[in-house]
Amino acid sequence: MGAVGHRVVHGGEDFQGSIKITPDVRKKIYQNFQLAPLHNPFNLKAIDAALKLLPGVPQVAVFDTSYYQKMPPSAYYYALPMHISKEHKIRRYGFHGISHQYACENAANILKKPLKGLRIISFHLGQGCSVSAIKDGAPIDTSMGFSPLGGLVMTTRCGNIDPEIVIYLSKLGWSFTEIEVMLNKESGILGLSGVSDNMKDVILAAEKGDERSKLAIDIFCYAATKYFFSYYGILGGANAIIFTGGIGVNSPLIRKRILEGAKFLGIEIDPAKNRKTVACAGRIESKSSKAKILVIPRNEGILIARETYKIIKGKKIG
């Protein structure tokens, strides 16, 4: 075995890109536990296991957050006192970067166009959900922020909420652990529907008349549509829209609902293509659509392998 590549969710502000794992890199991943307590500890366990099992084999860390490190400050700073943001490293980090990067590079290959010149709105809809605005191959904004909790409504995560809700619940006697569990594991589609954290189950319940499931789908799609139009404006238009992740690839209904309000922009899904494109890659825009609409199954493993090869060999590959 020539090398091992690892997905690491949070690189903080320490890593602008993928990097060979050294004791110093391992230490910095550990130091970022506080920024990603639900992810980085398990990422580091996998790294340590691989180092023990394969001594001498180069290991590379590929970070979900590094893709977003070059976003403009206007996109990543929160309106908090600047000294607090800098002292405690509070900013929009962004997540699912590996997935969005792979999807955008794949889209460019499918469209036979360079990333430079493409204005892409990329939806990663799965257990976690995010959307990114990407111009000329570089993200200029993304929905997830300081943590993977913010942004879109997700299967068990709440997405954007008024911060005062946390303060209010704490005053009522909720502990921070109880609030953290509720926001991360009991909210989203599960909390709204009361049926399941699986979108397929919620859609089936809605089709049978369950009102809470209908509302859950409405709220999920409404949040995504708001981000779509926001990013469309920030990008100055979009010539490609991507759906990836388990829900994005497997749910024609969700794709339809998110974009059905974009017809006045000349962006339109072809109903027949949309219905047929399930669990596979495909183009689903109508012939007259002003933007290409692509369904691209997620495959972070390929991008992690490419990044690992590039770091170890010092080469770029196509």
Q: Would you name the residues annotated as active-site residues?
A: 64
Q: How far apart are CA 15 and CA 65, in angstroms?
A: 8
Joined together, the tokens standing for residue 315 give 């080469």
Q: How far apart are CA 157 and CA 161, in angstroms?
A: 11
Q: CA separation (Å) from 137 to 28, 106, 232?
A: 28, 11, 16
CB 60 within 8 A of CB 307: yes
Joined together, the tokens standing for residue 163 give 């911060």
Q: How far apart are CA 149 and CA 88, in angstroms?
A: 18
The structure tokens 């570089």 sit at 138
Which residues are paired to 243 by β-bridges? Answer: 123, 295
Q: How far apart are CA 104 and CA 119, in angstroms?
A: 10
Distance of CA 222 to the CA centre of its chain: 17
Which residues are paired to 130 by β-bridges? Answer: 124
Distance of CA 268 to the CA centre of its chain: 23
**Residue 196 phi/psi, 5° resolution?**
-170, 160
